[in-house]
Structure 1
């Protein structure tokens, strides 16, 4: 699946103002469309575009960040927008708000390395692993507030996002690998220690072989001659 798969039509960023700007801008032209009408039109365009989606706009389990180093602000906005549209594809309730609102709420999580799958998990589960008693489809009167509240439960007191479910799984997997390597090293050390101890014990209990005479040949030959002469000169030796 190519990360940069195109989705047409994708509404321009101008047509979906962020949540902090919606309802505050005053059109300069009295005949300009009402902001609420523009937001409604943008939502309809997104629903139409997602209905024709043939491939993921962003990989579900990949961190939402530009793949290339040195990415510009525009590159990050483009990636965040694709991830926001992918969230709206999976979470139907988010189609009732603009893509810009979705991105604005999820941006801190994206910048903390979360994936689309991590955000979707946070909509249904608490950080303590408890599933919410009701689904994310029915009974939601204010989808924007609901979305922000669900993600807020996954933040620290200072407002920074916690580790996502995917990040936690990655840390736990790395810890298990480190523990397995340490256990294998300890096992290898015990085997080496056992082998060395067995060799020392075998050397201590084995019968000692006669130490060969390592003197030069001339010395050994002279010693043998001297020993023979001494033996022949002993008293009482038969001639």
Structure 2
């Protein structure tokens, strides 16, 4: 036996090869979320837990109120809208607000509201509710969120009309139909007064106006006029004989 060979170590006195691999500083770390993203998610959870009022109105378009808005203004508005979406859709709190905004930005630019986004998570464009809810069993919230919004896009990738936009278009159509019906009704009422342009109609209108004026005269005047008219008619009859 060589003198350089040491004694065989006792069983369990050294770590297994797999244990050494796990603790090796040269091995790559296991896949995990970046520290910045994890910190951002913690900040969002903290902010949403303290939320006392909506961060952005549910049925308002996601855009700054001023026309001369800067890029920073747009980023702030989108961030508030993204956080508000995460407040209602709990599964989206597992991803960053920046990712939520990136997925929803085409819808925001098309005039969608937060309520439209939340509606698209549970309903198809055909008005059918998804059988799977948005709470449990979602392994990849980002891919799920993108797929639900992708169902509301045309073949060219542009978003369809949202629920609020459809309701607004239907309300505008009803207002236009009501206005047209009111105009037709007004035209029917004005037509009998202005249609009397022919000789027969104009004569009847003049006679009716004269009769109305005579009815407003005192009874003695009307009685004397009737007696005079009767005498005139009798004299004409006697002259014709």
TM-score for both structures, normalised by structure 1: 0.68
In 1, the alpha carbon distance for the partners of 2:168 and 2:83 equals 26
In 1, the alpha carbon distance for the partners of 2:58 and 2:154 equals 24
Q: Secondary structure at the match of 1:113?
A: coil
User: Corresponding residue for 1:108?
Assistant: 106
* Closer, same or farther: CA 68–208 of 1 in aligned 2, 3 Å: closer
Deviation at 1:201, TM superposition (A): 4.2
Q: Deviations over 1:30-77 (max 9, x none)?
A: xxxx75233222212211110011111111111000000111111111
User: Corresponding residue for 2:167?
Assistant: 169
In 2, the alpha carbon distance for the partners of 1:176 and 1:157 equals 30
**Which structure 1 segments of 5+ residues have no match?**
1-33, 210-239
Deviation at 1:207, TM superposition (A): 8.5
Question: Could you tell me which of 80, 88, 93 is aligned with 2:86?
Answer: 88
* Closer, same or farther: CA 170–207 of 1 in aligned 2, 3 Å: closer
Q: How does 1:1-239 map to 2 (within 5 A)?
A: 36-197=34-195, 201=201, 203-204=203-204, 206=207
Deviation at 1:202, TM superposition (A): 7.8
CA RMSD of aligned residues (A): 2.3
Segments of 4+ in structure 1 off by > 2 A?
Answer: 34-38, 194-209
Q: Secondary structure at the match of 2:148?
A: helix
* Closer, same or farther: CA 46–191 of 1 in aligned 2, 3 Å: same
In 2, the alpha carbon distance for the partners of 1:191 and 1:43 equals 67
Which shows bigger deviation, 188-197 or 151-160? 188-197
Which shows bigger deviation, 128-137 or 88-97? 128-137
Deviation at 1:208, TM superposition (A): 11
Q: Which structure carries more relative contact order (alpha carbon 8 Å, separation 6+)?
A: 1
* Closer, same or farther: CA 49–147 of 1 in aligned 2, 3 Å: same
In 1, the alpha carbon distance for the partners of 2:143 and 2:133 equals 16
**Which structure 2 segments of 5+ residues have no match?**
1-31, 211-241
TM-score for both structures, normalised by structure 2: 0.68
Q: How many residues align?
A: 177
Deviation at 1:131, TM superposition (A): 1.1
Deviation at 1:162, TM superposition (A): 1.0
Q: Secondary structure at the match of 2:34?
A: helix
